[in-house]
């Protein structure tokens, strides 16, 4: 999956209507990595300093500038970022945090890391698979302290209704922005947000993440806690020639290294172009699917702000999803599912039995994620839609 061969996106180049028999396998996600990343890595290796240093700091500042925030904190993963945010906010035992079930399990797991309780909330509808404000209202209690909003598939959660909800109940808003790198408005809805640079994201450092926070004190608490709670880092002690440090808080080993930061700086420079390619490919997908697969439903209305991280569709209720997955796989097209509802996973069923989220469960039963990434072109999208149409009539 982590191929180093760089292919320039050709989303709108003319292409034959049918794929050649030797067409390469289409993956759901594929990183864009090439000579620039190789050169950036070589420069770090040649420089000899590979742990958290100048490149990490440069990456933090560049990411903050790109997202119109004052500063950012690079971490080892989005999961680490969410954990650090909740730790810095003082969430803990006895507290409840509202989370969507239609998300990767890490969103809920991070609540458990600080000893709090995740309370699963339904989505608004299959057309709008984002957390339901109505269900959140119904599940808010005297113990509720925070809400984690997920920009599912790269689509922005509506800010104002959630800000009003948080103000009404005295809650903290946290954004799980794993799908939302480069999305205008992401990272500004509430107290803090965590972004992901995992290998399938819109930009990648293989593993890694970033935290943004409005309050400088919260941001600096996250910064210190990512490195064991030390008052100074290794690079700072090297430059100051002062080998001593103190530990003033409980901390973790959630740092980012120089190699990942170097790759991140390159990736960030291409993110606007890649996100625009994703937007164009999604627009073509939606047009072709409406014309050729009208029985397939398309979540989200046209025009909702998005960086189009994934391409989710809903198969007809009568379709055998596994048969469709198998048919596309035989044509060299990978698909996947986003997501198995977190509340239905064995771990959470054992700890929180009896939860029913009708809209989430209905969406998850029919959802299929189609390939979408900047290495694709117009021909690839047509190939997927044709294969899906034929699979549904088989």
- Which residues are known to be catalytic? 201
Cβ-based neighbour number of residue 108 at 10 Å: 25
Residue-wise burial string across 2-24, b where 16 or more C-beta atoms lie within 10 A, e elsewhere: eeeeeeebebeeeeeeebeeeee
Per DSSP, the residues of 83-97 read HHHHHHTT--TT-EE
Q: C-alpha distances in angstroms, 280 versus 263, 283, 285, 329?
A: 25, 5, 9, 24
Could you tell me how many helices (H) and strands (E) the chain has, helices first? Answer: 13, 9
CA 372 to chain CA centroid, Å, is: 14
Q: What CA–CA distance (Å, rounded) separates 223 from 90?
A: 15
Q: CA-CA distance, 296 to 38, in Å (whole number)?
A: 41
Where does 197-279 show beta strands of DSSP type E?
209-213
The closest of 379, 391, 374, 386 to 311, measured between CA atoms, is 374
């Amino acid at each position: 999956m982590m191929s180093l061969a760089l292919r320039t996106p050709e989303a709108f180049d003319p292409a034959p209507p049918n794929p050649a028999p030797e067409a390469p396998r289409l993956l759901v996600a594929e990183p864009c990595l090439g000579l620039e990343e190789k050169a950036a890595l070589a420069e770090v290796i040649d420089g000899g300093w590979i742990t958290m240093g100048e490149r990490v700091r440069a990456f933090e500042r560049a990411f903050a500038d790109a997202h119109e925030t004052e500063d950012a904190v690079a971490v080892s993963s989005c999961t680490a970022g969410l954990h650090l945010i909740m730790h810095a906010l003082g969430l803990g035992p006895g507290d409840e945090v509202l989370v969507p079930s239609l998300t990767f399990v890490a969103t809920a797991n991070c609540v458990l890391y600080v000893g709090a309780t995740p309370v699963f909330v339904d989505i608004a509808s299959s057309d709008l698979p984002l957390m339901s404000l109505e269900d959140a209202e119904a599940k808010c209690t005297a113990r509720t302290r925070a809400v984690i909003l997920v920009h599912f598939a790269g689509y922005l959660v509506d800010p104002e209704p959630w800000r009003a909800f948080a103000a009404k109940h005295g809650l903290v808003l946290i954004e799980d922005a794993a799908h939302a790198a480069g999305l205008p408005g992401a990272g500004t809805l509430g107290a803090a947000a965590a972004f992901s640079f995992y290998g399938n994201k819109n930009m990648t450092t293989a593993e890694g993440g970033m935290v943004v926070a409005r309050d400088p004190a919260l941001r600096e608490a996250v910064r210190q806690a990512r490195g064991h709670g030390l008052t100074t880092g290794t690079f700072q002690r090297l430059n100051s020639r002062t080998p001593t440090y103190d530990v003033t808080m409980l901390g973790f080993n959630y740092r980012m290294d120089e190699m990942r930061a170097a790759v991140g700086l390159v990736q960030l420079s291409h993110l606007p172009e890649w996100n625009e390619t994703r937007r164009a490919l999604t627009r073509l997908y939606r047009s072709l699917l409406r014309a050729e697969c009208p029985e397939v439903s398309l979540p989200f209305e046209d025009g909702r702000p998005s960086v189009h991280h994934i391409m989710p569709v809903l198969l007809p209720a009568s379709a055998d999803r596994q048969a469709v997955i198998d048919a596309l796989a035989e044509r060299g097209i990978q698909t996947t599912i986003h997501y198995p509802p977190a509340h239905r996973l064995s771990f959470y069923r054992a700890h929180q039995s009896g939860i029913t989220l009708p809209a989430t469960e209905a969406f998850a039963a029919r959802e299929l994620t189609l390939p979408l990434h900047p290495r694709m072109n117009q021909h690839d999208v047509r190939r997927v839609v044709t294969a899906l149409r034929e699979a549904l009539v088989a």
